[in-house]
Chains A and B, each alone.
Chain A
Amino acid sequence: MKVRRCIVIFTVLLFVLTGCWNRRELSDLAIVSAFAVDKGTKENEYLVTFQIINPSENATGVASSGGKATPAFTVSETGTTIFEAIRKVSKKLSRQLFFAHIRLMVINEELAKEEGILELFDLFERSHEARLTSNVLIARGTDAKSIINMVTPLDNISGYVTVKKLEATEKVWSENIKVEVDDVINGIVSLGSSPVISGVRIDGDPKEGQKKSNLESTDVPAMLEISGIATFRGGKLVGWLDNGKAKGFMWVKNKMNSTIVRMDCKKKKGGVAIELTESKSSIKAEVHRKKTIFHVDIKEEGNVAEMNCPADLSKSEEIKKLEKSLAIETKKEVMSAINFAQKKKVDIFGFGEVINREDPKAWEKMKKNWNADFSKAEVKVKVEAYIRRPGMIMKPYIKEVPKLQD
């Protein structure tokens, strides 16, 4: 019995005397919501900026300091690796950085063009705090630091706000794709596809956007705007997909959710707007000795959103005409995206992986030269478009406008 008592006492002492190592009080943590990577002033250095949340400005029902402070603030530091910068920041910050709630990483466009993004993501994999679910964006037209420094209306923390914008626009406009860190890593490593990252720019004056006064007028001087999709080869940025090309890309990748397609009608250019509700695409590969043929089949459905031409939608020929125009318009945009990718010699669609899935042996031989071979491949696009509903009315009022007799 004596031995048992000793053990019990020893165990209790173990708790009391030795202390707890991994304990971190909430008040010792600086919660990072986003961070930005720019080129540092010296060779081989990065300038890393962290956006840190100010809790008392954000919580409801808690007395804040009179609303003078911004909901988040940023702090920058240089370092040869990101981790070095993180530790160096402790010189400037009273708390330890906490990464588990980070949602956004912004990369400078020039950095992406010149040095590439290959070295930026190791931290996310290795550390158990940083999450693979963080989103990535490329800063366009400004440096990444300014993007993070913005003060945004409606929701407080610009890091989270930007991610929300990305999610929202991916759903309703489908010109940009939400990319997380593990998608980027998988894209970098894979031989059969290349990574893409959406871009973000500031619409307005960046300097105005950093002050709280940005929120004080009804006409907000500076706002963040998601814009374009960046394509990469070998980890370096090689081109931007905008507008129609970006949509085409989304179509092929089966990521198209919903968007508005404008088509011409007899009298007006762009008089018809079709709202896409569903879109599915599938890619098949045919490997022949000399070249490869890809078949992209797209099936989509939509409704008539706006009609400014005097066409009577109660007649099925009109509907069929619209469906045909829709298919043609879709094919046009898809081909523009594919041409762009083939010109730049980047397989952003993952055609190589399709070959891998369907014919692994052929892929083994082809994979080394794939990016070059890809540009020689032939892509056949077939679009089936259906317009299901014309909305709440059949004939637009334009048709009924009486002709004025002067």
Chain B
Amino acid sequence: MEKVKISSKQLFAIIVLFELGSSLVVGLGVSAGKDAWLAILLGWIGGMALLWVYGYIFRQYPNLPLTGYLQKIMGKYVGWIIGLIYTIYFIYLAARVLRDFGELLYISGYDLTPLIVINCLLIVTISYVLHKGFEVLARTGENLFIVIIMTGLTGILLVFFSGIVDIKNVLPILEKGWKPVFKAAFPVTFTFPFGEMVAFTMLFPYLNNKESVLKVSYRAMSLSAAILIFTTFLNLAAVGLNITSRSTFPLLMTVGKINIANFIQNVDFISIITLIIGGFFKVSILFYTAVMAAADLFKVEKKEKLVLPFSIIILLLSLQVANNLTEHFNEGMKVVPLYIHLPLQTGIPLLLVIVVWFRKRLNTV
């Protein structure tokens, strides 16, 4: 294990950036109609519960990452295989998010650049930063957190000043009842983005102050949920449900409507910067957890050596994941959450909790 220590503020920053990631710019929960923000709220509650599960296991083994305590709880061989599954899972997730990111950047401005080039640039940047170590990533996260907050505030201010916000677009609340909200929350908003916190179980042991892991994570998740809810609300109010639910990049539509005095207009780059920073963080954290997991499982000494081969794998995988954008979104909305996210984010950790609890029971008896 590296002697890397990150502070709680850094953990806070990178959790928020990770959660916001690409979810800030896509239409999260729009299948629930005008109540998309309610769906996110429910997803958040589920996410907090998940965090409690992760925290519980972490407290039993405060110095081990996920792959470590998997082996301890489930036995050496079974744990190792599950750890391998998680490694592949992280790689796959990183590739998916990279594809998301590349596609969004493509349609928002770079529509003649081949996708491989867009993705390759991001992977090269990430490899460089990860090469310097995780501490550098955490510190960069602290800095970019401030940048995103400021960009976000600027965007929100501009939207309000353009006078395009119309609360009537969001009323009535719950016009179709709770059913669509639940359908959207589970499994979609629950697993994306809140369930992806499972990646952080690999990173918790790095924290300086281990007791405050849960507190920091709760706060960070709440802040990111608040930002997501508010942004969805804003999108609905500014452009209306119709356009929001039908577009691939709703934040871009909202920002595109900003027009102050016919001078400040077309400030797309606010949403593009948000996308790039968020995407950068999400992919790099998933990338790093995959590297960490592999290093832990295969007992590799220097993690930096794994960075290069993994980057090529993730890059190529991101191009193979789907043939076109429709297929990619469908997979992401229907197939992946149910069959892949749920078992790995909720199923196995719950199993671990049960096993640990039983063992403790048996030990005391």
- Give the interface of A toward B (CB within 8 A): 3, 7, 11, 14, 18, 20-22, 100, 125, 128, 131-133, 182, 185-186, 189-190, 353, 356-358, 360
Of all chain B residues, which has the CB nearest A190? Answer: B242
Q: Known contacts being A21-B113, A22-B113, is A189 close to B242, with CB within 8 Å?
A: yes
Stretch at the interface among B167-175, B217-225, B288-296: B167-175
How far is it, in angstroms, between the C-alpha of A356 and the C-alpha of B168 when the chains are bound?
Answer: 11
Give the residues in chain A near B112, CB-CB below 8 Å: 21-22
- Whether B265 sits at the interface, judged by CB under 8 Å, is yes
Of all chain B residues, which has the CB nearest A186? Answer: B240
Instruction: List 8 A-B residue pairs with CB atoms under 8 Å apart, sorted by A's residue number.
Output: A14-B120, A20-B113, A22-B110, A125-B243, A131-B256, A133-B259, A186-B240, A356-B172
- Pair A128/B108 contact, Cβ less than 8 Å: yes
- Pair B175/A133 contact, Cβ less than 8 Å: no
Of all chain A residues, which has the CB nearest B268? Answer: A128
How far is it, in angstroms, between the C-alpha of A189 and the C-alpha of B241 when the chains are bound?
Answer: 11
Give the residues in chain A near B243, CB-CB below 8 Å: 125, 132, 182, 185-186
Stretch at the interface among B41-49, B85-93, B246-254: B246-254
Q: Which of B114, B257, B265 meets A21, CB within 8 Å? A: B114
Q: How far is the CB of A123 from chain B (nearest CB, A)?
A: 14
Q: How far is the CB of B355 from chain A (nearest CB, A)?
A: 43
User: 7 tightest CB-CB pairs across the interface, nearest first?
Assistant: A21-B113, A21-B112, A360-B175, A357-B171, A22-B112, A357-B172, A186-B240
A-B contact count (CB 8 A): 59
- Whether B239 sits at the interface, judged by CB under 8 Å, is yes
Q: Known contacts being A14-B120, A21-B114, A22-B111, is A132 close to B239, with CB within 8 Å?
A: yes
- Pair B124/A132 contact, Cβ less than 8 Å: no
Give the residues in chain A near B176, CB-CB below 8 Å: 360
Known pairs A21-B114, A22-B112 / 8 extra A-B pairs, C-beta < 8 Å: A3-B308, A7-B308, A14-B117, A132-B243, A132-B256, A189-B242, A356-B175, A357-B172
Within 8 A of A (CB), among B62-102: none
Of all chain A residues, which has the CB nearest B169? Answer: A186
Give the residues in chain B near A133, CB-CB below 8 Å: 256-257, 259, 265
Q: How far is the CB of A262 from chain B (nearest CB, A)?
A: 31
Of all chain A residues, which has the CB nearest B175? Answer: A360
- Whether B107 sits at the interface, judged by CB under 8 Å, is yes
Q: How far is the CB of B38 from chain A (nearest CB, A)?
A: 15
- Whether B109 sits at the interface, judged by CB under 8 Å, is yes
Of all chain A residues, which has the CB nearest B311? Answer: A7
How far is it, in angstroms, between the C-alpha of A18 and the C-alpha of B124 when the chains are bound?
Answer: 16
Q: How far is the CB of A162 from chain B (nearest CB, A)?
A: 14
- Pair A132/B172 contact, Cβ less than 8 Å: no
- Whether B266 sits at the interface, judged by CB under 8 Å, is yes
Q: Which of B108, B110, B239 meets A182, CB within 8 Å? A: B239
Q: How far is the CB of B226 from chain A (nearest CB, A)?
A: 26
Q: Known contacts being A131-B266, A356-B172, is A186 close to B113, with CB within 8 Å?
A: no
Give the residues in chain B near A358, CB-CB below 8 Å: 172
Of all chain A residues, which has the CB nearest B113? Answer: A21
How far is it, in angstroms, between the C-alpha of A21 and the C-alpha of B109 when the chains are bound?
Answer: 11
Of all chain B residues, which has the CB nearest A189? Answer: B242
How far is it, in angstroms, between the C-alpha of A358 and the C-alpha of B175 when the chains are bound?
Answer: 10
How far is it, in angstroms, between the C-alpha of A96 and the C-alpha of B324 when the chains are bound?
Answer: 27
How far is it, in angstroms, between the C-alpha of A14 and the C-alpha of B172 when the chains are bound?
Answer: 53
- Pair A128/B308 contact, Cβ less than 8 Å: no
Give the residues in chain B near A356, CB-CB below 8 Å: 172, 175
Q: How far is the CB of A169 from chain B (nearest CB, A)?
A: 16
Give the residues in chain A near B257, CB-CB below 8 Å: 132-133, 182
How far is it, in angstroms, between the C-alpha of A11 and the C-alpha of B117 when the chains are bound?
Answer: 11
Of all chain A residues, which has the CB nearest B131? Answer: A4
Of all chain B residues, which has the CB nearest A7? Answer: B308
Give the residues in chain B near A190, CB-CB below 8 Å: 242
How far is it, in angstroms, between the C-alpha of A15 and the C-alpha of B165 when the chains are bound?
Answer: 42
Q: Which of B107, B120, B175 meets A128, CB within 8 Å? A: B107
How far is it, in angstroms, between the C-alpha of A108 and the C-alpha of B171 when the chains are bound?
Answer: 35
Q: Which of A128, A131, A353 meets B109, CB within 8 Å? A: A128
Of all chain A residues, which has the CB nearest B253? Answer: A132
Q: How far is the CB of B170 from chain A (nearest CB, A)?
A: 10
Q: How far is the CB of A214 from chain B (nearest CB, A)?
A: 25
How far is it, in angstroms, between the C-alpha of A131 and the C-alpha of B175 when the chains are bound?
Answer: 30
- Pair B256/A125 contact, Cβ less than 8 Å: no
Q: How far is the CB of B363 from chain A (nearest CB, A)?
A: 49
Q: How far is the CB of B3 from chain A (nearest CB, A)?
A: 23
How far is it, in angstroms, between the C-alpha of A11 and the C-alpha of B122 when the chains are bound?
Answer: 12
How far is it, in angstroms, between the C-alpha of A22 and the C-alpha of B253 when the chains are bound?
Answer: 21
- Pair B107/A360 contact, Cβ less than 8 Å: no
- Pair A125/B246 contact, Cβ less than 8 Å: yes
How far is it, in angstroms, between the C-alpha of A100 and the C-alpha of B168 when the chains are bound?
Answer: 29
How far is it, in angstroms, between the C-alpha of A14 and the C-alpha of B119 when the chains are bound?
Answer: 13
